[in-house]
Structures are given as structure tokens and as C-alpha cells.
Structure 1
């Protein structure tokens, strides 16, 4: 028997107020609230802790223990919440191209969701870290769509789709995907690769992100960045372990895991390149 999600507990965790309904307004509001409340983070892979995709484990970690997680956890939880509300939702899988060439060969390591609501198909994605989607996108081609921050759009060659964001007047691709529904095993494989493969960047550096109504917060190793729409980014290099932990707790709202390795891993984080 599948684990029954505590929908009320999830809604409280993300600060959603009101009666959730299976409509577009609720979908967009839930996605925006989720990314503001539940940060993206990779502390478990960094610490060598197994990342479970079991819904009960995800719920305990992200909802009850006030942790964050990465795409398979975030969108897995979001999918369960949408289904509990009554949405028609299926999972997709993508190849990440962010900060890579458009023709880069990358593994299928990103989960996103297709939601059918009010007679249309929409894409939702609360798990893309520094460029998390605030809201949802109608599944239409080459149309700039407003979100809580930057405009996003979808393009396609008829087979593969690409999600793009308008960053500093340039359309940049986040990832490419097909509309074929992913099987559960696809996520198991992608999660295993992401969290255990020796050269996975999730195992060797700290990545934390949170998207608020007017700004994006990011922490990459020791560099803490605040990106405010239409303004220059503010950057600060964190020095000691205590400062890193304080920023993780206060700026991202994460309850740090009780791991004897945590301080050593944080102390070993490299300084930003000059």
C-alpha cells in the first residue's frame, strides 16, 4: 500500500492559506509557495547519506524535519500533493543543460511534472534549484510566459522540448525532455547516479537555493548570492563553518542534519575563484 501523504501538514509547511482546488490558480500558488518554503539542497549526497525516494521518507525529511532536497524529492512530494488535491499529474524526466552547450550530452537526472487541468496541459517544476519555476507553464510553443520572477518559455523541434528562462535579456536553456511519461525506475536510476556517482557534483560541493517572491538566494560552497530581479547580484564569501551553518539555517530555513561529518565537510569547502 502506498504511503498516504499528510496533505494538511504539507500545506502548513509551505504556508498555503485557503482551500486547495484542482485548478490553475491553485497549481500556480502551490508551486510558488513550495519553492519559497522548501529549499533546494544537497546535504545528503555531500555527507554520503542515502537519498530515499520513498514518499514517507521524503515527507519526513522535507515536511516534518524542515529540510530541503533536490528534484526527485521536491517534485516527488509536489506530485503527491497535487494528486491528493485531485490534479491529473504525471512525471517526466529531463537532461539538464543549464550552463552547458545546447548540444551537450547529459544523463536523465531531472524530474519535472505534467499537469492536465482546466482542459490544458501545464508543466510544473519545484526542483530546479537556482532557477526554480515560480508557478507553472502552459504547454505551448515559443510563448514567453510570466512567472513569479523571470519570464519562461518552451520550445520544441517536434520531438524534444526545452525549457528556457529569460536571464539578462538572453533565453537560456534549463533542460530538454520528451513528453513521454517516466517510469518509477527512471527516477531510481537518475537518483542513484546523481547521489552516488563518483564525479557527480552533488557529492563534492554544497548547493543550496531558495526562490522568494522578489529574489533568488543561492549558496555554492562558500559563496552566498542574492539575485534580485532587475538589480545587480549581491555576493558574500562565507568564512568559517559557523557562518556557513548560520546562513543555511537563517537564510534558507533548513534544520541541519545531525551528522558527525557535517563540520568537516563544510570546513573543507573551497573558496570562490578569484
Structure 2
């Protein structure tokens, strides 16, 4: 290629040893560092249990920093979580530092989107190559984040520690579905065109600043567990246990909401002056 595009990469640097070890400490990983499928699976299993999905920055009007130093500071050192761009950019940087071949992709989400409504390609996922085989990694899809990488070339249903997924291809696109309540639900559609950091920065800025964005209006958090998931959407708290009926309840006090974020989702809340006010307004607390 002579147009210079061959040098364009999503991941511009690698984590230094101190930052990489801090990440391993954060997720509780002490295994090998070789770029094998077993290592990828273990990291993918541990990450969403330790680093929760959350959108507190955009909910409070705090800028979302997608730079590598910013991601390490927030998700690793400050005990915070993040949404798809933060989660998968950090995870991708970790994998690349360890020697994995990684590319960033983008997806158009259909999960919980009203029929007929068309969403932009506003979700990030990763394409990881191991031993010549391609896998999809995604630790940033909220309450349905994968807990294991999925084979891109495996049309049959794939079991993960929590749910069952399947990937199929039609024309130039791949579709990811999840088995929920005895039926397949479409999560998103993606192609294999690599994305660069500016591609994600533009979409991330829109999602965390536009008044109609869910990431601005609503509060979301999710965390995987070995037995299932915790999920929070505004004042609605849900516990999903594998092969059991979900438990749901409504939070009525902002103190309880704050306690959930800190103790269940393991989020070290930022000392923001409007946090308490926003939590009170969220649950219509007088």
C-alpha cells in the first residue's frame, strides 16, 4: 500500500509494566502473559466482574477521556468503570501489550431498540486473532457483556459462563444474538472494517453530551458475577441469576442508590458537587 494507511493503527502505544500490573491487580489476574486462547478467556472472564459498566461521567456532565493515560487512571487506579469505548479500548490495549493481534470494530445496536428505529454505529467491540483464528471480545455491552470471547467462524451457539450466544453472517455483516427467555435476541450487527481512535472519539462525544442521549439522561451500571449479573437502570435494580427468574426492585432513597453503586457495583464515586442532587432527582425523592 502506498497511501500511508498501512501505518494507521487504533492502538498507538503499549501499557508500561507498572500500568499492566496495576490492571492485573485490579481484575485479580495472576496467570501467564502469553497470547493464548486460555489467557484471553481468563482475562475476558475476570474483567467485567472487577471493572463495572457505568456512565456516571456523562450522567454528571464530566468529560469522557479515551486516551490511554486517562483510561488507566479512571478504570484501573481510581476504581471506576466506564462504557463500551472506555472498556474495550482499555481491554484492547492490555491484549495488544501482551502480544495479541487486536483491531477495533464498530457495531449498530438493536438490543432494546424499538422496531423500525435506526441507531448509529455507536458500539465498540474487538476483533482478536489467536493461533490464526478470529474471535470477538466485548467487555463493554452493559447488562449483556460477554464473559468469554466468541469465535467468529463458529455458526453454532456458543456457551459462556453466563449466557449462550451465536454469531452468523449475512452478506458483509455479522450478527450477534443472545439466548434470553427461550428465544434468540439480536444484540448488534458489525462489519470487519477497522476503526481508529478518532472514529470512537466522535461517537463517544455525541453519546456523552447530546441532551437526548441515554448516557446523559439516565444512570446505568452493570457488573458480571460467576453466577450471573447485577444491573441498574435509573432506580430499577435487577439481579440476574443463571437459569433462574430475575429479581427486580425499585430503589426509593438516594442513599440506597449510592450504596448500591459503591458496594454492589464496586464504583468509587467521584466527588462531584451535583452527584447527590442528580441521584435524588433520578428517583423523584423530595
TM score, norm. by length of structure 1? 0.95
> Which residue is 1:135 aligned to?
148
Cα distance per residue 1:7-43 (max 9 Å; x no partner): 1110110011222220111111101100000000000
Which stretch has the larger CA shift, 152-161 or 38-47? 152-161
Pairing 1:176-255 to 2, within 5 Å after superposition: 176-255=189-268
Counterpart in 1 of 2:15? 4
1:36 and 2:49 aligned? yes
Name 2:167's counterpart in structure 1. 154
Over the residues paired in the alignment, what is the CA RMSD in angstroms? 1.4
Instruction: Name which of 78, 85, 101 aligns with 1:65.
Output: 78
Q: Deviations over 1:55-82 (max 9, x none)?
A: 1011100000000000000000000100
Alignment length, in residue pairs? 271
d(CA) in 1 for partners of 2:117, 2:151: 26
Write the distance in 2 (CA, Å) between the matches of 1:173 and 1:155. Answer: 11
Q: Which runs of 5+ in 2 are unaligned?
A: 1-11
1:96-150 deviation digits (Å, cap 9, x = unpaired):
1101257641111111000010120000000000000011001125310111111
- Flag as ranges the 4+ runs of structure 1 deviating above 3 A: 1-5, 101-104
Query: Alignment partner of 1:91: what SS?
Result: strand
Name the stretch that deviates more: 12-21 or 241-250: 12-21
- For 1:108, the equivalent position in structure 2 comes to 121
1:91 aligns with 2:99: no
Segments of 5+ residues of structure 1 without an aligned counterpart are none
Q: CA–CA distance in 2 between the matches of 1:138 and 1:211?
A: 21
Residue aligning to 2:138: 125
CA offsets 1:182-220 (integer angstroms, 9 cap, x no match) = 122210111011111111011011100001111110011
Tell me the distance in 2 between the aligned counterparts of 1:161 and 1:105: 17
> Contact (CA 8 Å) 1:3, 1:56: kept in 2 or not?
no
* Contact persistence 2:252–2:283 (CA under 8 A): no
